[in-house]
Amino acid sequence: MSEIKHIIPHDYHIDKAWRSKVNNQKPVVVWLTGLSGSGKSTIANQLEVELNKRGQRTYLLDGDNVRTGLCKDLGFSDQDRKENIRRIGEVAKLMVDAGLIVISAFVSPFRADRMQVRALLEPSEFIEVFVNCPVEVCKQRDTKGLYAKAIKGEISNFTGISSPFENPENPELEVHSDREEISESVNKVLNLLLEKIKI
């Protein structure tokens, strides 16, 4: 850690403001958080489709996809979960600097970790979306069979079963995927986002 004092960041000639102008959009992170099976990835995918139909420049970061590369060395202990979100936050910050709309779909169960990501960005650049769905409904969906394994004890530290999920206290938006059609949830996020990214 003592070597950090010798690091001197380079000043770029092309900055975030310029990239934002070129992309004709304000960069932002849409951070979808919620239990496994709540519908985060489904909403995120459809949201990206809708944004691209409108000519917006985006990138989607999703939990399982990121864990096949950037975070493949991490497990699911509390500490590893924190490091997973820390890395994602740093990547999202770089993508915002590139002028992109970043859609992030992660369980991200701990409030402090989500706050840490928010703190990396300008106040207007982070939109927290709570995909609220009761754990009982997520168990019924269980599209990946993870809840069944967690209940049997085959998966440890599983959020909603053997590890807690801390609901957001003041998200910019809350959608209820147990009683809304996916299209309704997507439209709510889209409408909020389109107001935020206007230049």
Distance between CA atoms of 17 and 21, rounded to whole angstroms?
6
Active site residues: 108
Picking from 196, 58, 198, the residue whose alpha carbon sits closest to that of residue 127 is: 196
How many residues in total does the chain contain? 199
Find tokens 């490091």 and name the residue.
83
Contact 19, 99 (CB under 8 A): yes
* Tokens representing residue 60 in the block: 């989607």
Let me know the angle formed at the C-alpha of 155 by 74 and 166, rounded to the nearest 5 degrees.
75
Contact 50, 194 (CB under 8 A): no
Neighbours of 104 (CB within 10 A): 29
The stretches of the chain forming alpha helices (DSSP H) are 16-23, 40-53, 63-66, 78-97, 111-120, 135-141, 146-151, 182-196
